[in-house]
Amino acid sequence: MDRVSQSAHIELRHLRYAIAAADCGSFRQASELLAVRHSVLSRSISQLEHLLGATLFERSSGGVAPTFAGRSVLRISRMVLEQVGVLAAIARSSGRGEAGHLSIGFCTSISAGNLRTSIVEFKNGAPDIEITTVERSRILLMSALRNGTLDILIVPRQKPLSDGVMLPIWCERVLVLLPHDHPLAAREMICWTDLRDQTVLLSEHDPDSELEDLLLSKFLTDEHRPKVARRDVSRATIKSLISIGLGISLVMESDVDASFAGLVYREIQDGAGSSCISFHAHWREGNVNPALQRFLELLTERYRSASAFEGRRPRLS
């Protein structure tokens, strides 16, 4: 059987088991996390390696670590599972037909801020319309918008699709996330220059790429530039790492209400005032979904003036 034929036998469980093993650094811990027998998980990963014709993990008494080939396979595996997650979310919400349904993709927090407020207002005004929200990377979201499985995206910046339409909607302030006992936490306001020599933890997931670009743009030379440490983990895990003193981070103001014990938010400014990142709505020009049209009317009305771009400002704690 050739490799192409063998790949048809790869199952989603193979990918889930491999990702769990990589995240845990141990087959045994991964099996406990997934509530499967250790032998089942180990055998499934060996099957995946056989089907791919490559060794994915280096095994030792101290645990397991991905090989060079394994890191590539794991990166693609995460994308595959994300796509399956999008497919499942859309299928569940669309099972009763497409009338009265709106699917919204985003890659920012909806714990507070304009996105949350807009969705709540729309739901209150149109209670019969079913809303699906999908949080994924922008690459996957743009792909889902292109193939019609999502109606609209709310993302930072981003060029529109060739057949797409883009609407500027709001801006969000950039904040510094700190352990409560960090020296900078005593200040109400922080300048970018205060971040010199700090370790800034950022997620590999969106929208942290904008935050990294903004951070690096504030330091023209490498001297005293903060060390940016990217982690292939969720933003929630980044908070856990900060809480144990491994660094600080940058977030947007919509994250403020996602409280985490031992952490504080502080606004960061330069000589021109607050630092902000703009958000845009994207949709396909040929999408005639009436629910989308109603949502666009709400966004246009709500964010038509420049003053609305600053949005609601959550209190920093």
Percent of the chain at pLDDT > 70 equals 87
Please give the Cα distance from 73 to 78 (Å, whole number).
9
82 pLDDT higher than 90: no
Can you give the three-state secondary structure of 203-270, one letter per residue? ECCCCHHHHHHHHHHCCCCCCCCCEEEEECCCHHHHHHHHHCCCCEEEEEHHHCCCCCCCEEEEEEEE
Look at 164 and 73; give whichever has higher pLDDT: 73
Asked whether residue 315 is assigned to any structural domain, the reply reads: no
Q: What values do phi and psi take at 174, rounded to 5? A: -95, 135
Instruction: Give the CATH number for residue 201.
Output: 3.40.190.10
Same domain, 160 and 178: no
Mean pLDDT of 302-317: 50
Mean pLDDT of 144-161: 86
The DSSP bridge partners found for residue 230 are: 202
Same domain, 266 and 217: yes
At 197, the pLDDT band (50, 70, 90 cuts) reads: confident
Q: Is 93 helix (H, G, I), strand (E, B) or coil?
A: helix
Please give the Cα distance from 220 to 36 (Å, whole number).
51
Same domain, 181 and 255: yes
Asked whether residue 85 is assigned to any structural domain, the reply reads: no
Instruction: Give the CATH number for residue 8.
Output: 1.10.10.10
Q: What is the mean pLDDT of the chain?
A: 84
257 pLDDT higher than 70: no
Structure-token pair, residue 137 = 């990377």
Please give the Cα distance from 49 to 54 (Å, whole number).
5
Structure-token pair, residue 50 = 């056989």
Asked whether residue 86 is assigned to any structural domain, the reply reads: no
**Where in the sequence is the domain holding 293, given as residue range(s)?**
98-170+277-310
What is the separation, in whole angstroms, between the first and last Cα of the chain? 61
Mean pLDDT of 246-256: 87
Same domain, 244 and 202: yes
96 pLDDT higher than 80: no
Asked whether residue 126 is assigned to any structural domain, the reply reads: yes
Q: Is 65 helix (H, G, I), strand (E, B) or coil?
A: strand
For residue range 29-80, list pLDDT tens digits in order: 999 989 999 999 999 999 999 999 999 999 999 899 999 999 999 999 988 8
Domains contained in the chain, number: 3
pLDDT at res. 239: 87
Structure-token pair, residue 210 = 């904008």
21 pLDDT higher than 90: yes
Asked whether residue 87 is assigned to any structural domain, the reply reads: no
Structure-token pair, residue 21 = 């093993």
Same domain, 263 and 285: no
Q: What pTM value is reported for the model?
A: 0.62
